[in-house]
Amino acid sequence: MSAIRSLLRNAVGGVLVLSFALLMALPLVDAAGRSLGGLHLPGSADLVQAVTLWLTFAGGLAATSAREHLTLSTAGWIGQGRAGRAARALASALSAGVAAMLAYASWNVVMANRAEGHILEMGIPAWTLDLMMPLALGAMALVFAWRAGDGWMARAAGFLAIPAAFLPGLLPGGPSIAYGLAALAGLSLLAGTPVFVAMAGVALCLFFAQGSPVAAVPAEIYRLVASPTLPAIPLLAGAGYVLAESGASARLVRCFRAWVGFLPGGMALMAASVCAVFTSFTGGSGVTIVALGGLLLPMLLQDGQEEGFSLGLVTASGSLGLLLPPSLPVILYAIVAGGRDQAVPPDRLYLAGLVPGLLLLVLTGAYGILKSRKRARTPFEGREALAATWAAKWELLLPVLIIVLFASGRTTMLETAAGALAYTIAAECFITRDIHPLRQLPGVLLKASALMGAVLILLSVAMGLTSWLVDAMIPDAILAWTTAHVHSKLVFLLALNLILLVLGSVLEIYSAIVVLAPIVAPLGATFGIHPVHLGVIFLANLELGFLLPPVGLNLFLASSRFGTPLPRLYRHVLPFLAILGIGLLLITYVPGLSLMLPRLLGKG
Amino acid sequence: TLKLATLVPQNSSWFRILQEMGTEWEKASGGRVKVVFYPGGRMGDDNDVIRKMRLGQLQGAVLASPGLAEIDRSVYALSIPLAFESTDEVYRVLDRLRPGLERTFESKGFVVLNWADGGWVRFFARRPVAGPEDLKAQKFFQWQGDTHTLEIWKTAGFNTVPAPAPELTTGLQTGLLDAFLTSPQVVLIMRYFEKAPHMTDLRWAMIMAGTVVRKDAWEKVPADVRPALLKAAQDAAGRLRRDMAASEATDIEALKRAGLKVVPVDARARTRWEDMLRGAHGKIRGAYVSAQAYDEAMAIRDELRKGGRR
Ligand code: NA
Ligand code: NA
C-alpha cells in the first residue's frame, strides 16, 4: 500500500514540477521568438491552458494528500470521542461522495470537449489533456474515502459513499431531496469538510434540484481554469514562494528598515503598496495573499508589528490595487458597461480610478502609521541604507524588471509573469544561492503548487456556485427589487454600496462584473450619476467585498495561507474594513475624487 | 423552457431585438415555450456557451462566426477575406449555402433558426495601413483562441502578437500592439481610435451570426408551434440585418468626428492584398475553412456574378 502511495505521490509531484516548468518556458519562448523576428511555437496558447489545468487538479490532489485544503477549524470543538470520530467519518465520506460526483461531472465536460474535436499540434486531441480533471478528482474521492477512519468499517462506509452519491439521480424524488442535501453539504463544513468540497456539494445539489445537469459545475471550473488570464497567477505565485523560501525577506526587511525605519509604519505602507502593485497585475483575484503573504507577513513580524495587525494588514491589502492599471477588471467593466450611447472607455476609467485607488491604499497605510507611532524608530543612516540596498539588489530589481518588460510593450502580461518567475529562480538559485536548484527548488515548487492547487480549486468551485446564482438570475432579482423601492439618488448610492459589497463577496469577481454592470450602468444613468464615476464606485465595492465576512475570498485565502482560524481573521480585518468603508463612502459621495483627474487632463 | 446565451450586450439594440423574438416565441406557443436569455457573456464566451449547450445546461445560443465555427468551420466560407463585394452578395451566397450548412449543423446536433451578421471587420492601426507591407511593419494583434487564423497570418510574414482579447486595451497603451482587425462599432465603444486612429478603407471580411438550438430541445417544442417560432426568428434576423447595416455608416461617421482617419486603398494596394491572400490560399482553403465549403461558396459567388452581368 505504502509503496503504491509513494509511487503515486512521486508521479503527481513529477507532473506538477513539469507543469510549472512548461508554464514558465512556453511564454518565454514566445516572447524571445517575437523579438528575434517571427519565431513562434504553434499552439502554445493551447498548451499553456492545458498545463494550467494540470497544475490546478494535480495540485488539488497534492493538497488533498497533504491536507492543505482550507477547512473551518470548528472540527476541533467536536473532540476526540465517539461523536468526534463519527463526525469526521461523515465529513470524509461526504467529501468522497462529492469528489466522485465532480469526477463524473467533469468526465462529461471532457466528453463535450471531445465532441468539439479540437486537435493540438502533433495531432494530439485536446480533450486527452483535459482528462487530468476527472482523474485527479477521482483520486481525491479515493483519498477522502480512505480517510473515513482507521478501521475497515469506517473505510467501507467511506467507499460506499462514492456510489451513494449517485443515488439521488436514480430516485424519482431526487430533485426535491437535493435541497436537503445542499443544506447537509453546507453544514458538513462544521465537521471539517474542506470548504471547496462543501461549496461544490452545494452547487451540484442546487443545479440538480433545478433540473440542470450537474456538469454545469465543472463546466464553470473548466471555464475559469482555461481562461486566458489565469496562467499568470500560478507563475507570479511561484515567484512569491521562491522569494519566501529564500533569504529575501530578511534582506528586504533590512533594506526597507534602513530607508523608511525612521518613519513610523513605513513597513506597513510598503507592504500595502507592494500588494497593490501585485494585485493590479493579477487582476484582483485575491491570489496576492497566497503569493506574497508568505513573504510579507514574516517581514512585518520581523519589523516588530503585532501579529493580529500584520495578519489584518496583509489580508486587507490583498485586493488593493484593483482600480490601478493594468488591472483587468477595469477593462472588463469598460467592455461590459459601455454602450454606443454611453461609453465608459477603459483609459478614462483607469484615470478616474487612480485617486480613489491610491486613497484606499493611503488609508490602509495611514492606519499602519497610527498603529505603530509608539514603536521605536530606527534612525536613518546613509551608509547602512546603501549597504542594505546593495545586499537586496537582486530582489529589488524584480519589480523593476516586471514594470520595464510590461510597460515598454515588449511582453504580454503572461510573458511578464513567466519572466518574473524565471528571474526569481535565477536570482535565488544561482546568484544569492539561497535555494539549491536540484535539492531544494523542486520541493519549493511542489509546496507552492499544492497550495496553488488548493486555491485554484477553491476559486473555480466558487465560480461553480456563482454560476448557479447567475443561471437562476438571483442577482437580477435583488437589483430589480431594490430599484423598485428606491427613488432618491442618495439612497440609491447607499443601497448600491450595500448590494455590491454583499454580492461582491459572494460572487467571483469577473462574473460579478459581467452580470451586475449591465444592470447597474443604466440605473446609474437614470439617477444622473456620471458613468465613469459609477464604474469607480462599482469596482471599489468589489475591492472591499473581498474582505467582507463571512465569505469574502481574501479571508478564505488568508486563512488557508497562514493557518489562522476564520473567526480570528474576521476580528483582525474589522478595523481595516471600517477604514476602507470610510474611503468607499468618500469615493461614492465625492464624485470629484474620481472625475477631477480626467477633467484636468482634458479627458472628462 | 429554452435557455439561450449570447455575447450580445444587454443594453444594445441587438439584444432588444432578441428579446422581442423571445416574447414572440412565448406568445406564439401560447406559453408552452418559455425563453430565458443570458446576454453579455454571462455564461462565458462562445466556447463556454457551446460546451454548456452540449452538456444540456443551455438549450440554445446566439453565436457569432468564431462560435459557429467551433461547431463547424464551414461557416467561415462566408467570411473568406476580400471574397465578397457587398453585404448583399454575402447574403445571396448564404441563401444558396444554407440548406447544406444547416444540414451540417444538424448532423452535429444543432438546429440553426436564423442568420444575421455582425458587420464587416477592417484594419485599425497606429500608423496608416494601405497595403500588406504597411501592416507588416506594425505589431498585429491576433486573438489567441483561433490557432488556425493565427498560423495563417504568421506564415504570411506578419508580426502577429497572439494575446487574450482584453489585452488589446493595455497592449495598445504600452505599445505591445499596433494594429488589429475589428468592426467600427467595437472601436467606437472601446475608444480604440485614440491609440489606433487609422482605419483601412477595405471591407476585409463579414462576421456572421446565428441562433442555434440543440436539436433535441427543438424537437421537444410542439410540432405545431415550430413554424411560428421559426418565422419569428427569421423576422428578428431581418431586423438585425437592417440594424447592423444602418449602424455601420453612423459608426464610421462618429469615428471620423472623433478624429479617425480613413486610409484609402487604391487598386494597386488592393492587388497586393489579393496577392498576399493568394500566397496563403493553401491554408485559407483547408485550415481556415474546409476546402469543400470554400469551393462551394466561391462557385456560387462566381455563378451569381455571371448571372448579374448577363
Ligand atoms: Na457565470
Ligand atoms: Na468576489
First to last CA, chain A: 68
**Stronger pLDDT, A332 or A420, i.e. the higher one:** A420
Range B262-278 average pLDDT: 95
CA neighbours closer than 13 Å in the CB half-sphere of residue B189: 21
d(CA B238, CA B292): 28
Q: A58: phi > 0 → left, psi -120 to 50 → alpha, else beta; which? A: alpha
Beta-carbon neighbour count of residue B227 at 10 Å? 10
Grid cell of B99 as nine digits: 440548406
pLDDT band per the 50, 70, 90 thresholds, residue A1 = low
CB contact under 8 A, A38 and B151: no
Torsion on CA atoms A226, A231, A237, A241, rounded to nearest 10: 100
pLDDT for the residue numbered B229: 95
Which amino acid is present at A231?
Answer: P
Helices (H), chain B: 13-28, 46-55, 65-71, 87-107, 132-136, 147-155, 167-174, 184-190, 215-220, 226-257, 267-279, 281-284, 291-309
Grid cell of A178 as nine digits: 437535493
Beta-carbon neighbour count of residue A444 at 10 Å? 20
Average pLDDT, chain A: 87
CB contact under 8 A, B51 and A410: no
pLDDT for the residue numbered B310: 46
Q: Does the CB of A38 have a partner CB in chain B at under 8 Å?
A: yes
Residues near A291 by beta carbon (within 8 Å), at least 6 away in sequence = A233, A236, A237, A239, A240, A241, A278, A282
Asked if the peptide bond before residue A550 counts as cis, ω within 30 degrees of 0, the response is yes
Q: Does the CB of A602 have a partner CB in chain B at under 8 Å?
A: no
Please, are residues A365 and A268 in contact by the beta-carbon 8 Å criterion? yes
Ligand whose nearest atom lies closest to the CA of B48: 1
Task: Indicate the length of chain B as a whole number.
Answer: 310
Phi then psi for residue B13, to 5 deg, are -65, -30
Interface of A with B in 303-332 (CB under 8 A): 325-326, 328, 331-332
Who among A108, A228, A410 is closest to B144 (CB)? A228
Angle of CA points A89, A93, A99, to nearest 5°: 145
Distance (Å) from the alpha carbon of A414 to chain B's nearest alpha carbon: 9
Range B268-293 average pLDDT: 92
Q: How far is CA A592 from the centre of its chain?
A: 32
The SS3 call for residue A344 is coil
CB atoms within 5 A of ion ligand 1 belong to A 467, 470, 511
d(CA B114, CA B211): 5
Q: Is the pLDDT of residue A215 over 90?
A: yes
d(CA A407, CA A395): 19
User: What distance in angstroms lies between residue A332's CA and the mean position of ligand 1's atoms?
Assistant: 14
pLDDT for the residue numbered A456: 86
d(CA A388, CA A381): 11
DSSP B146: -
Which amino acid is present at B116?
Answer: A
DSSP A430: I
pLDDT for the residue numbered A282: 76
pLDDT for the residue numbered A131: 95
pLDDT for the residue numbered A173: 64
* CA-wise closest residue to A572 among A271, A284, A371: A371
Q: What share of chain A is helix, strand, coil (3-state, %, to 5)?
A: 75, 0, 20
- With CA atoms as reference, the chain B residue closest to A38 would be B159
Which amino acid is present at A436?
Answer: H
Q: Is the pLDDT of residue A475 over 80?
A: yes
Average pLDDT, chain B: 92
pLDDT for the residue numbered B33: 93
Residues near B48 by beta carbon (within 8 Å), at least 6 away in sequence = A219, A223
Q: How far is CA B183 from the centre of its chain?
A: 10
Q: pLDDT digit string (tens) for B16-75?
A: 999 999 999 999 999 999 999 999 888 988 889 999 999 999 999 999 999 999 899 999
The SS3 call for residue B123 is strand
Beta-carbon neighbour count of residue A488 at 10 Å? 9
Report DSSP letters for A441-453, one per residue: HHHHHHHHHHHHH
pLDDT for the residue numbered A541: 95
Place of cell 435541497: A179
Q: pLDDT digit string (tens) for A270-311?
A: 889 888 888 887 776 677 888 888 889 988 888 888 899 999
Residues near A186 by beta carbon (within 8 Å), at least 6 away in sequence = A198, A201, A202
Which amino acid is present at B243?
Answer: D
CB contact under 8 A, A519 and B10: yes
Please, are residues A500 and A524 in contact by the beta-carbon 8 Å criterion? no
pLDDT for the residue numbered B257: 95
**Stronger pLDDT, A69 or A313, i.e. the higher one:** A313
Selected residue of A331, A333, A349, A351 to mutate for chain B interface (largest B Cβ count, 10 A):
A331
Q: pLDDT digit string (tens) for A507-561?
A: 888 888 888 888 888 888 888 899 999 999 999 999 999 999 988 889 988 988 8
Who among B36, B159, B176 is closest to A412 (CB)? B176
The packing angle between helices A44-65 and A216-225, to 10°, is 120
d(CA A548, CA A505): 6
Beta-carbon neighbour count of residue A236 at 10 Å? 25
Q: pLDDT digit string (tens) for A399-442?
A: 888 888 888 888 888 899 999 999 999 999 998 888 888 888 99
d(CA B298, CA B277): 15
CB atoms within 5 A of ion ligand 2 belong to A 509
Q: Is the pLDDT of residue A376 over 70?
A: no
β-sheet bridge partners, residue B141: B161
Residues near A592 by beta carbon (within 8 Å), at least 6 away in sequence = none
pTM of the model: 0.88
Grid cell of A504 as nine digits: 461582491
Range A146-163 average pLDDT: 87
pLDDT for the residue numbered A363: 93
Grid cell of B110 as nine digits: 444543432
- With CA atoms as reference, the chain B residue closest to A413 would be B167
Residues near A70 by beta carbon (within 8 Å), at least 6 away in sequence = A194, A195, A196, A454, A458, A556, A559, A560
Q: pLDDT digit string (tens) for B218-255?
A: 999 999 999 999 999 999 999 999 999 999 999 999 99
Which amino acid is present at A428?
Answer: E
Who among B9, B52, B170 is closest to A339 (CB)? B9
Selected residue of B12, B13, B55 to mutate for chain A interface (largest A Cβ count, 10 A):
B55
Grid cell of A129 as nine digits: 489533456
Q: Does the CB of A233 have a partner CB in chain B at under 8 Å?
A: no
Ligand whose nearest atom lies closest to the CA of A216: 1
User: What distance in angstroms lies between residue A456's CA and the mean position of ligand 2's atoms?
Assistant: 14
Longest dimension (CA), chain B: 59
CB contact under 8 A, B147 and A229: no
Phi then psi for residue B36, to 5 deg, are -120, 125
Which amino acid is present at B36?
Answer: V
* CA-wise closest residue to A536 among A467, A473, A597, A474: A597
ipTM of the complex: 0.86
Grid cell of B16 as nine digits: 432588444
Range A5-16 average pLDDT: 89
pLDDT for the residue numbered A116: 81
Who among A223, A328, A521 is closest to B11 (CB)? A521
Grid cell of A94 as nine digits: 461526504
**Stronger pLDDT, A552 or A119, i.e. the higher one:** A552
CB contact under 8 A, A339 and B189: yes
Phi then psi for residue B118, to 5 deg, are -105, 20
Q: pLDDT digit string (tens) for A338-349?
A: 766 667 888 889
Selected residue of A413, A467, A473 to mutate for chain B interface (largest B Cβ count, 10 A):
A413
Residues near A177 by beta carbon (within 8 Å), at least 6 away in sequence = A168, A171
Q: How far is CA A104 from the centre of its chain?
A: 25
Q: In chain A, what residues touch B55 (CB-CB under 8 Å)?
A: 108-109, 112, 213, 215-216, 219
- With CA atoms as reference, the chain B residue closest to A226 would be B48
Percentage with pLDDT > 70 across chain B: 99
Q: Is the pLDDT of residue A22 over 50?
A: yes
d(CA A219, CA A217): 5
Asked if the peptide bond before residue A475 counts as cis, ω within 30 degrees of 0, the response is no
Which helix or strand (DSSP H or E) is residue A297 part of?
helix A287-302
Q: In chain B, what residues touch A410 (CB-CB under 8 Å)?
A: 176
Q: pLDDT digit string (tens) for B188-199?
A: 877 889 899 999
pLDDT for the residue numbered A341: 63
CB contact under 8 A, A34 and B185: no
Helices (H), A486-530: 489-506, 509-526
Percentage with pLDDT > 90 across chain A: 35
Which amino acid is present at A91?
Answer: A
d(CA B183, CA B161): 19
The SS3 call for residue B295 is helix
Angle of CA points A462, A468, A474, to nearest 5°: 110
Please, are residues A523 and A567 in contact by the beta-carbon 8 Å criterion? no
